[in-house]
């Protein structure tokens, strides 16, 4: 069976440099012994993991300025299928400081709302895609509550009539998505508690068909389309870096549930193994794949 087309939408792209230092502390000049560059953002991480699983997702994002051009070049060099819509502001930048024996420290630049022209272009692109696609909206969407996002909100409403829509976001976008009949929302426990409802009120309050609520190494809660609720405990691991593990989890859920047609609980069991492997590795979606 031909798999549906997969899309990820990153509303707040990140050009990220990792500096490796022999040792470091605040308040003094630091000299790195190594430097790497990578493109971050939750939707990019999801697309990266989908590619490792053998799928061919299209990564949608907004880029602006020299930092945006550098991000586009990085994605192009690595063979990503992506569409970069213009942003009025330069793509945000970040720096990760890594030193042996210390936890990574990340510095993020300010959010970069994309602007009206890029949002209109993204909405038009979504309207032009074939039916039955699987779209995952990932991460923050700066400026979501402004009128500039009206075309994208309208396009997402239309997408609901002909495709699958999944969200892994927070803040105002989460509140908006939670009031639509999405196929799945994946959030962490803190974001869920921000909705100010209890699990028993979930189905009566929101039309979302399925929920996955994560809590780090604690059990993951599942609310499936049949009305069943359950919990599943992630595999125990020696954590190196949890960064990106939620994105790996979402990518594996997408692949297992909408490509391999596994029931949601089985898809989650598959995804948790990969997310745990990611947390035991310093990179994002770069770990050795678990044996099937």
Q: What is the pLDDT of residues 115-145, one digit of tens each?
A: 999 999 999 999 999 999 999 999 999 999 9
Question: Is residue 288 situated within a structural domain?
Answer: no
List CB contacts of 226: < 8 A, sequence separation 6 or more. Answer: none
206: in domain: yes
Q: DSSP of 190-205, one letter per residue?
A: HHHHHT---GGGHHHH
Question: How many structural domains does the chain have?
Answer: 1
DSSP letter, residue 111 = P
Would you place residue 200 in the very low, low, confident or very high pLDDT band (cuts 50, 70, 90)?
Answer: low
Indicate whether 291 pLDDT > 80: no
In what side-by-side order are the strands of the sheet with 105-108? 34-40, 14-20, 92-98, 105-108
Q: Which of 18-22, 191-195, 236-240 has the lowest mean pLDDT?
A: 191-195
Tell me which of 27-41, 80-94, 103-117, 187-201 is least confident.
Answer: 187-201
- Can you give the pLDDT at residue 2? 75
Q: Is residue 241 part of a domain?
A: yes
The answer as to whether 286 is a domain residue is no
C-alpha–C-alpha distance, residues 33 and 50, integer Å: 32
Task: Please report whether residue 285 resides in a domain.
Answer: no
DSSP result, 39-78: EE-HHHHHHHHHHHTT---EEEEEE-HHHHHHHHHHHHHT
Q: What are phi and psi of 4, to 5 degrees?
A: -70, 155
Whether residue 284 is contained in a domain is answered as: no
pLDDT tier for residue 25 given thresholds of 50, 70 and 90: confident
Residue 27: inside a domain: no
Q: What is the CATH number of the domain that holds 180?
A: 3.40.1190.20
Please tell me whether the overall predicted TM-score, pTM, comes out greater than 0.85 for this model: yes
Residue 213 or 228, more confident: 213
Decide if 28 is inside a domain.
no
User: How many whole angstroms from its chain centre is CA 147?
Assistant: 24
Q: Residue 198: its pLDDT value, please?
A: 63
Helix axes 150-159, 116-127, angle to 10 degrees: 10
Residue 17 pairs in a beta bridge with: 37, 95
What is the Cα–Cα distance from 145 to 135, expressed in whole angstroms?
21
The larger pLDDT score, comparing residue 224 to residue 144, is at 144
Higher-scoring residue by pLDDT: 133, 226:
133
Contacts of residue 33, defined as CB under 8 A and 6 or more positions apart, other chains included, come to 20, 21, 22
Quick one: DSSP state of residue 217?
B
Stretch among 68-77, 78-87, 199-208, 240-249 having the lowest mean pLDDT:
199-208
Q: What is the mean pLDDT of residues 166-172?
A: 95
Tokens standing for residue 230: 């359950």
Phi-psi region of 122 (alpha: psi -120 to 50; beta: other; left: phi over 0): alpha
pLDDT tier at 243 (50, 70, 90 boundaries)? confident
What's the domain range around 176? 6-22+33-279
pLDDT value at 180 more than 70? yes
């Amino acid at each position: 069976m031909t798999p549906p087309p997969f899309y990820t939408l990153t509303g707040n792209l990140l050009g990220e440099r990792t500096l490796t230092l022999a040792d470091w502390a605040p308040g003094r000049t630091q000299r790195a012994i190594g430097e790497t560059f990578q493109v971050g953002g939750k939707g990019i991480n999801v697309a990266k993991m989908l590619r490792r699983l053998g799928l061919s997702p299209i990564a949608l994002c907004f880029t602006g300025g020299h930092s945006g051009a550098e991000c586009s070049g990085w994605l192009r060099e690595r063979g990503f299928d992506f569409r970069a819509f213009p942003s009025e502001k330069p793509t945000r930048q970040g720096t990760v400081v890594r030193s042996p024996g210390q936890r990574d420290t990340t510095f993020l630049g300010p959010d970069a709302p994309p602007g009206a022209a890029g949002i209109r272009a993204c909405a038009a692109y979504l309207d032009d895609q074939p039916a039955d696609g699987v779209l995952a909206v990932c991460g923050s969407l700066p400026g979501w509550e402004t009128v500039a996002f009206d075309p994208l909100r309208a396009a997402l409403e239309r997408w609901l009539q002909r495709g699958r829509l999944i969200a892994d976001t927070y803040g105002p976008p989460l509140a908006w998505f939670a009031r639509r009949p999405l196929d799945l929302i994946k959030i962490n426990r803190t974001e869920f508690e921000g909705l100010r409802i209890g699990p028993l009120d979930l189905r009566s309050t929101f039309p979302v068909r399925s929920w996955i609520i994560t809590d780090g190494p604690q059990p993951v809660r599942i609310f499936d389309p049949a009305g069943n609720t359950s919990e599943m405990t992630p595999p125990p691991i020696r954590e190196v870096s949890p960064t990106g593990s939620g994105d790996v989890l979402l990518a594996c859920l997408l692949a297992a549930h909408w490509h391999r047609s596994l029931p949601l609980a089985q898809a989650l069991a598959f995804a948790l193994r990969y997310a745990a492997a990611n947390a035991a590795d310093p990179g994002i979606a770069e770990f050795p794949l678990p044996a099937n």
